[in-house]
Structure 1
């Protein structure tokens, strides 16, 4: 049975992992990563399946705002089955990473970008011959675009990308009477996407009311001459693309679309 994590749109970390990668038969090593500001993070480096052709590509998975990295084990399984290596990590205050005071009404913390930078650097150190990029899911797309703009990953893939943060805050208040706050650094966020120069695939749900498809479409439309960007619109709600693109195996079509994009084609 798949673990389904409902997007919280406010921070809801959980300390306990529901499983580890070897629960699904995945080969992995557990890592401790130290960030630039000396915070200790826990991570899993998950190897490609032995039956798959090694793609020599590592995806650093930046998760959403709820639960912990174990909610992305099935994503890692789908990637491994297609020959991809993945690095999952817990943000500070999540899972088994170092404690961090979290306001549950905060949409995200800028410190999470520091965490992703450390995870990306560790993946590059461990796999120097791999392409190393970011897969950012929901809040992880906010963080992923920030790091994509500053740390030059080989690629960026986002699902449920939030382009307009004040609009998300307003929607959550209007639709759910939920009050969210933004960090001070959010003021610079509208300028981030233009500084992402690596190939960027934006996966968006046509029925997503939380992070509308229009946000992802606007990023693609604004691409300049040498910025390679694509939009993959999927008939689903927020973070529903992996389920929707399940074929014989979970997220099989989702990973195939990513593979086509990374090969230089149309997702």
Structure 2
């Protein structure tokens, strides 16, 4: 998405005229030309006469105006840092996909501003695909993605990371997560979120090899690793083998670190 900071000015021309028959003529004034702000010329100071907010339904205007850092009566420089800083404030908040601050009118040293915002969508539904009901319930509690929740890039990135870590803890090291948003045709400004999860196969331990173990045998070291076990085989110590056969063979980073 291309972030644009746009400041332009619109002056309305007034058409005046009179009509008559015969000797009377009709005279129409040409609309005033739209002022062009040149960044190569010296900046000019203006006093803010009014601020309007458009494009947002879920927030009060006074809240957004306050968030911009601009106020009626403030003196700003055009071109200048005040408008740029105000736009950056909205981008940093992360709740808007487009931000523009326009000057709709200029009279002398007074300027009228309009803050145009495009709000990011809110969630109408969330669907989990490719997992069990119990896994879905666990993820719902961890993610907190619910109807009415506002969608931002950070929220989606966090959701993907949480899902990957969740299945990593269950031994699925190669899980693929694809989060797709589509507009909800029944609710304007809302999206349906589809979370597609492909767990793939569990990562299992085939063999454990030790290097540099001089005081303990490999078997003694393997016994000490209570939750990190290799694939079942029939060794001389058949009692130990039977016990290990029923212990976990999946590989999880957390248990491996504990066993180390």
Fold-level similarity (TM above 0.5): no
Bin the TM-score by the shorter chain. Answer: under 0.3
TM norm structure 1: 0.18
